Homo-oligomer: A and B are copies of this chain.
């Protein structure tokens, strides 16, 4: 084996070997098993042993298909992120498209919270992940925004989606805002003089409190100012 890299595994056509015994496993089956384990028990539960047991194989058998765990996680990630949403012909306009895009990405991350941990830092980007970027870019193409501005918009939206998804995933029961209130509220008790405005803000029940919608609207409002801007 020529020590296939993660990029190769993610992007290259998978060719069945010509000689030797029939493989009992496949890259997709291995990745799917890993996804199931991660969905059920978190990323920490994904060990070579666990994945192998689920496939009724020895741990070392997996190394015939995957060079190491990082490559396995890369395959799992691209599988879990899934194909980007089909461009919905009914929704027109960049803003509804981006809004739907962000919400669908949010749903994907909620379905596979562990993917939030695996999609950070230096990593191999798979076809599906790149497809999501393409979808966001397509929504903004033709609005008059420059290329870098389009990419930066997608990045900003991603940051917001990820942050809220992380908060929701950390508190599976109940709204994230409520859980935050309990945690921080407990810490603030008896220390109101040290954190006065924070105490006041948390006590104020006025206004809407949907962190996801709020941030999404803020960002899209900011982008709208650029879209409506006169060409220079």
The residues of A with any CB-CB pair to B shorter than 8 Å are: 7, 11, 116-117, 120-122, 125, 130-131, 133-134, 137-138, 140-141, 145-153, 155-156, 158-160, 162-164, 166-167, 169-171, 177, 180, 183-184, 187-188, 194-198, 200-211, 214-215, 217-223, 225-226
Contact = CB atoms under 8 A, between A and B. Distances in A.
A160 B160 CA distance: 7
Residue with the highest number of chain B CB atoms closer than 10 Å, among A122, A151, A164, A184: A151
Contacts of A225: 221
Given A162-B163, A211-B155, A223 B219 contact: no
B222 A218 contact: yes
Given A148-B209, A201-B151, A133 B184 contact: yes
A148 B184 contact: no
Contacts of A226: 218
* Shortest beta-carbon contacts, A-B, top 5: A147-B204, A218-B222, A146-B207, A159-B163, A156-B215
24 contacts: A11-B187, A116-B120, A122-B171, A130-B184, A130-B188, A134-B197, A137-B197, A137-B198, A137-B200, A138-B196, A146-B207, A146-B208, A147-B206, A148-B177, A148-B214, A149-B208, A150-B201, A153-B218, A155-B167, A156-B214, A156-B218, A159-B162, A215-B219, A218-B221
Given A137-B197, A159-B159, 5 more contacts: A117-B120, A130-B195, A134-B194, A146-B204, A163-B163
B148 A208 contact: yes
A215 B120 contact: no
A180 B116 CA distance: 19
A215 B130 contact: no
